[in-house]
Amino acid sequence: MPDPDSAAVARRNAAANGLARSTNPDQLVAQIERTRESLAQTIDELADRVSPSSNIRRLRERALQEAERPEVQLVIAAAGLFVVGYVVFRALRRNR
């Protein structure tokens, strides 16, 4: 059997949270729909944040943005030059 005090507490909490401002059923239905849409949007945002494919996409976009910076391009060029130099050195040393 439900506790009659629990219903009173629920109404008091709802009123304190601004959830039971009106008793018009149409307004309550509209408020429930807005809350449902807000909750659905929040769930979609959370799903996007934890999605592996979304994380990979964001990391790829960030890496491409970082690669456009001149100092990063200089480091990439230096690393490429080092690798090419090392390969040429090994190839020449092997031929001796």
Q: Flag whether 73 is in a domain.
A: yes
Check: CB of residue 14 under 8 Å from CB of residue 20: yes
For position 95, what pLDDT does the model report? Answer: 76
**CA proximity to 56, closest of 68, 48, 46, 66:** 48
In a domain, 41, yes or no: yes
Domain containing residue 83: 24-95
- How many independent structural domains does the chain possess? 1
Cα 77 from Cα 69, distance rounded (Å): 12
Per residue in 40-84, pLDDT (tens digit) is 999 999 999 999 999 999 999 999 999 999 999 999 999 999 999
Supply the pLDDT for residue 7. Answer: 64
Average pLDDT, the chain: 86
Supply the pLDDT for residue 23: 72
Say what the pLDDT of residue 85 is. Answer: 96
Prediction pTM value: 0.44
C-alpha distances in Å from residue 43, one per residue of 32, 37, 46, 51, 66: 16, 10, 5, 12, 30
In this structure, are residues 80 and 86 in contact, taking their beta carbons and an 8 Å threshold?
Answer: no
Please indicate, yes or no, if residue 88 is contained in any of the structural domains: yes
Tell me if 30 is assigned to some domain: yes
